[in-house]
Amino acid sequence: MEMDRPDGRSPNQLRPLACSRSVLHRAHGSATWAQGETKVLAAVYGPKAGTKKNENPEKASIEIIWKPNTGHIGQADREYEMILKKTFESICIRTIYPNTTTSIVVQVVHDDGALLPCAINAACAALVDAGIPLRHLAVAICCSVTDNNCIILDPSKQEEEKAKAFAYLVFPNTTVSVVPEKSLQAGSDPMAHGIITSVTHGAMSERGRATTQRLSEFLRKNMEPKSTREASKAG
Amino acid sequence: MREIQLQLSQTQKVRLQKALEHLESLSSKVNSDASVTIADSIPVNHEDGVLKGHGTADLEGEVVATLCGVVERVNKLVYVRTLRSRYKPEVGDIVIGRVIEVAQKRWRLDINYSQNAYLMLSAMNMPDGVQRRRTALDELNMRCIFEEADVICAEVRGFQQDGLHLQARSQKYGKLSTGQLITVTPYLVKRQKQHFHHLEQYGIDLIIGCNGFIWVGEHVEVRDDMVEDQVSQSDPQVLIPNKNSVSLEEQEKNYTALETRKHICRAANAVRVLSTLGFIITLEIIKGVIDLSLSMNLDIHDMLGSEFCVLVAEKEAERRSSNKKKR
């Protein structure tokens, strides 16, 4: 079903992506990630000694601090923190640095829809910049179902508000090409809003997985050339 | 580690681009094949037993990278080395740090690592050079030796239970004064045989710390401990250097000549230019940059301008290509 999106994109088209790493000097790792107008800045500090009281000291613990662009920290922000924590606990190799805490600070610069996936991508790039060993990279996108039952990817804030339901999908990025037959592992935490039937869920995950291939290629391309160039320049 | 913001004109940009491309083409091809990102599998010969080092993980029999970086192989060991990572201290590294806190029987220093390092009072030579047990009086007088915000040169002793420990058991370590501390990214400093350099023609000392802190300062004569002991006969208990009464004669003695100060500034700017361009910092390249600036009769603050940076990049490209031809 053809769909007219306000900014003229096709249903499967993502907004322009932009990513830059090592933006903050004092943080151990940092990255900004922008999808269209939505922009998020993530910084990683760690691993630091000691864990919190309720945490298992035999594993590294991950602490997320979510900072909204305006206003005080509210319930929604705490929810985002929890979701990010679960996601990154499945990605990081927690047995390497036991009894330490790695802090990820996420600052929302501008919110124009698909905020949580943008934050997950930014935090993943920041973890890579900090040199924290990861099992695989995480790529996230947002799919939404509109009023006329059409699935569109990467909605802007306007489209999100009008949508019947939307879901955030996170996929682990293990090999260079995301294999379609690979089943969703524990790493993917779908967070769903609204009414999503099983049919739409299946369609969303397929569409989403295909698009994450593009996202993951972008992420990898972003990381490679810089490192080789610097190594050869330094001599 | 703030870099100088270069305003390059169009021609300067083109020249800089050309020089950097030339450098990249000169570097060995092996490097570009070995760079790897997370979850890439590392090509390894499975028949030989392979030791999986840092940055690798075993995934269904495949050796997979967990970090973004360059694959290094040493005999049977395979590991991934990250490029832009934080400084990782090893035993025996020469580091330069700044005192943050004076604690009980130790000083806490910031050495550009994720934790602070400790310098124990017992891991240092006493100002009078005598080997003795540290008493409570010494502990109370710690502030007379090093205070907050002093710059100290020391050696990494190792990781103890409560953190990273340093030692300064030689006369060449200790407090650094009359000079400049420059921060660069740690990966620009490679471990070498000598980290203490003395440039005789300028009369300055250059200490390249492995943690990315570089000290350029006036030359200080390193006195030998053994000779001192025979000569000095001062009573150990009374040696508290009195900082308040610095007489006029002492101030005159401590005065650094204008020429030396200019050389210190020139060397410091040379290091800053190299860190902006991203070249590895060694004694030869610093000397080369200082000579280049002197031969052009450049003013010290002009060294940080865009024209000089482009010239340094071009000269470095020439030097490396001539080195390669010689080999």
Q: In tens digits, what is the pLDDT along chain B, a chain of 327 residues?
A: 445 667 778 888 888 888 888 877 777 554 555 666 666 777 777 777 788 888 888 877 788 888 888 888 888 888 887 877 778 888 999 999 999 999 988 999 998 887 889 999 988 888 777 788 888 888 888 888 898 999 999 999 998 888 899 999 888 888 898 899 999 988 888 888 899 999 888 889 999 999 999 999 988 887 655 544 444 444 444 444 444 445 666 666 677 788 889 999 999 999 999 988 888 899 999 999 999 888 888 888 888 888 888 888 888 888 888 888 876
Residues B67/B71/B77/B79 CA torsion (nearest 10 deg): -10
Ranges assigned E (strand) in A111-227:
137-145, 151-153, 165-173, 191-194
| C-alpha separations of B296 from A67, B151, B293, B299, B307 in Å | 51, 33, 5, 9, 12
User: Rounded to a whole number, what is the distance in Å from the CA of A102 to chain B's nearest CA?
Assistant: 11
B-chain residues within 8 Å CB-CB of A233?
20, 23-24, 27, 277-279
Strands B151-160 and B174-176 turn out to be antiparallel
Residue matched to tokens 């200490």: B207
Q: Band of the pLDDT at A96, cuts 50, 70, 90? A: confident
Rounded to an integer, what distance in angstroms lies between the CA atom of residue B179 and that of residue B219?
A: 9
Residue matched to tokens 């269904």: B60
Judge: A232–B114 Cβ closer than 8 Å, yes or no: no
What's the pLDDT score for residue B154? 94
Between residues B248 and A197, the one the model is more confident about: B248
Q: Is B133 on the interface with A (CB under 8 A)?
A: no
Q: Point out which residues pair with A104 in neighbouring strands.
A: A44, A64
Between residues A232 and B104, the one the model is more confident about: B104
Judge: B278–A233 Cβ closer than 8 Å, yes or no: yes
pLDDT of A134 > 90? The answer is: no
Rounded to an integer, what distance in angstroms lies between the CA atom of residue B63 and that of residue B78?
A: 9
Q: What's the angle, vertex CA A136, arms to CA A132 and CA A137, rounded to 5?
A: 85
Between residues A125 and A5, the one the model is more confident about: A125
User: Is B69 within 8 Å of B36 (Cβ atoms)?
Assistant: yes
Q: Band of the pLDDT at A177, cuts 50, 70, 90? A: very low
Q: Is B33 on the interface with A (CB under 8 A)?
A: no
What's the pLDDT score for residue B60? 77
pTM score, two decimals?
0.75
| Ramachandran angles phi, psi of A220, nearest 5° | -70, -40
Highest mean pLDDT: which range of A7-11, A136-140, B6-10, B214-218: B214-218
What's the pLDDT score for residue A227? 56
Highest mean pLDDT: which range of A125-139, A174-188, B2-16: A125-139
| C-alpha separations of B106 from B91, B109, B123 in Å | 19, 10, 9
Between residues B309 and A65, the one the model is more confident about: A65
Lowest-confidence segment of A36-45, A55-64, B39-48 by average pLDDT? B39-48
Q: Band of the pLDDT at A234, cuts 50, 70, 90? A: low
Average pLDDT of span A7-19: 82
Residues 37 to 96 of A: which have CB under 8 A from any B CB?
46-49, 93
Highest mean pLDDT: which range of A129-138, A188-197, B229-238: A129-138
Between residues A62 and A205, the one the model is more confident about: A62
Residue matched to tokens 């990820």: A104
Nearest to A48 by CA among A126, A119, A104: A104
Please tell me which residue of chain B has the smallest CA distance to A127: B67
DSSP state of B211: T
B-chain residues within 8 Å CB-CB of A223?
37, 68
Between residues A227 and B51, the one the model is more confident about: B51
Rounded to an integer, what distance in angstroms lies between the CA atom of residue A224 and that of residue B41?
A: 15
User: Is A194 within 8 Å of A160 (Cβ atoms)?
Assistant: no
pLDDT of A179 > 70? The answer is: no
User: Rounded to a whole number, what is the distance in Å from the CA of A130 to chain B's nearest CA?
Assistant: 7
Q: Tell me the three state secondary structure of residue B244.
A: coil
Ranges assigned E (strand) in chain A:
17-21, 29-35, 38-49, 61-67, 100-110, 137-145, 151-153, 165-173, 191-194
What's the pLDDT score for residue A155? 82
Judge: A227–B68 Cβ closer than 8 Å, yes or no: yes
What's the pLDDT score for residue B210? 92
Is the peptide bond prior to A47 cis by the omega test (within 30 degrees of 0)? yes
Spacing of C-alpha A225 from chain mean position: 22
Nearest to B166 by CA among B109, B224, B100: B109
Please tell me which residue of chain A has the smallest CA distance to B38: A136
Judge: B37–A224 Cβ closer than 8 Å, yes or no: yes
DSSP state of A234: H
What's the pLDDT score for residue B119? 93
User: Is A63 within 8 Å of A96 (Cβ atoms)?
Assistant: no
Q: Least CB-CB distance to B38: which of A25, A130, A136? A: A136
Rounded to an integer, what distance in angstroms lies between the CA atom of residue B304 and that of residue B273?
A: 6
Structural Rg of chain B based on CA atoms? 24
Other residues' Cβ atoms within 10 Å of the Cβ of residue B263: 21
Q: Point out which residues pair with B96 in neighbouring strands.
A: B153
Spacing of C-alpha B29 from chain mean position: 28
Other residues' Cβ atoms within 10 Å of the Cβ of residue A119: 27
* Residues 6+ away with beta carbon under 8 Å from B207: B94, B96, B153, B176, B195, B196, B197, B214, B215, B217
What's the pLDDT score for residue B267? 92
Q: Band of the pLDDT at A161, cuts 50, 70, 90? A: confident
Spacing of C-alpha A77 from chain mean position: 15
What's the pLDDT score for residue A21? 85
User: Is A130 within 8 Å of A46 (Cβ atoms)?
Assistant: yes
Between chain A and chain B, the number of residue pairs with CB atoms below 8 A apart is: 90
Q: What is the mean pLDDT of chain A?
A: 77
